[in-house]
Amino acid sequence: MPNPILIDINAFLISARTGGFSAAAREIGTTPSVVSKRVGRLEAEIGERLFKRSTRALVLTPEGERLQPELQRIVAELEDTLTNRALSGTELRGSLRIRTPTTVGAQFVGPAVHRFQHRNPAMTVELHLLDRPVNPLEDGFDISMGALPQSFGGVKETAFCPYPRVLVAAPSYLERHPAPQVPGEISRHDCLAFVLVGHTWTFEGPSGPVAVDIRARYSVNDSRVLLDAAVDGLGLAMVPLFLARAALAEGRLVELMPDYPVSELWFKALVPSHKTHRPEVIAFVEHMRRELDPAPWLEA
């Protein structure tokens, strides 16, 4: 029978992550009143309020903020000890909650995950396609994959492969605006920004990196929409090379400033440090290392 204190801690952690008892109840598969009761039991056990309750949302108290990361670590360690998360013979068992960006996830990571599940039919995998920065330790993921440069405390990074990007514009835009030859000229152009990268673009020059603050005419959090906007002639865009390759070959886009290539990103996995020893995490990271050597998006 599950330990009641672990049930109560889990209710607290999910409520803290989702921001409310209703959202936590949907994830757990129970009612908001049950989640509230479990959190109340934990507060009584600790002798401290963990949430400031209101009709709109739950807000962690200072004590709740202090306990949240500590309880996350404890629960993860206990789950590894008390549940069947090890190898049984040659069969991998357990569950994984994974995050990946939408575009590269749908085209490349998703099929790789399918192959992982074919080889490990006893595994349970929950794959989330999200275009936002994710701290797997705080957001409840076993593995978060992506190419953004953010790092987080208590999280181990494993780099897989380059994730090249290019600066492009449509011929129709370049008919109205002369193509920039050096990064400093970009500030005079209409630019199309990928929200998660921000409004500073970095290039590799002869003397090292060159950062430029852009004037974003249009910002979007989806790479395909960003590509379409560039093809429509709305401005300059920095996009993944694998997305732009066909449009470049067909002349619908032009690569700009080849002497100042866009600074390279690396596609990587981020794993909470206390989960790096789990067999299913190790197996999945190694599976993705093989899948991305070489990366399918590097193919011409």
Cα separations (Å) of 8 from 38, 132, 137, 211, 224? Answer: 5, 29, 19, 48, 42
According to the model, what pLDDT value does residue 30 have? 85
According to the model, what pLDDT value does residue 56 have? 72
pTM equals 0.72
pLDDT tens-digit map of 46-104: 999 999 987 777 899 999 999 988 888 787 776 655 544 444 455 788 899 999 999 99
Distance CA 287, CA 112 (A): 8
What are the residue ranges in the chain where pLDDT is below 70? 1-3, 78-90, 300
Domains contained in the chain, CATH given: 4-82 (1.10.10.10), 89-162+266-298 (3.40.190.10), 165-263 (3.40.190.290)
**Strand 191-194, strand 216-220: pairing:** parallel
According to the model, what pLDDT value does residue 3 have? 67
* Number of C-beta neighbours around residue 31 at 10 A: 13
According to the model, what pLDDT value does residue 84 have? 46
Phi, psi at 220, each rounded to 5°: -150, 155
According to the model, what pLDDT value does residue 2 have? 57
Phi, psi at 140, each rounded to 5°: 80, 25
According to the model, what pLDDT value does residue 85 have? 47
32-55 burial code (b ≥16 CB/10 A, e <16) = eeebbebbbbbbeeeeeebbeeee
Distance CA 300, CA 176 (A): 31
According to the model, what pLDDT value does residue 99 have? 96
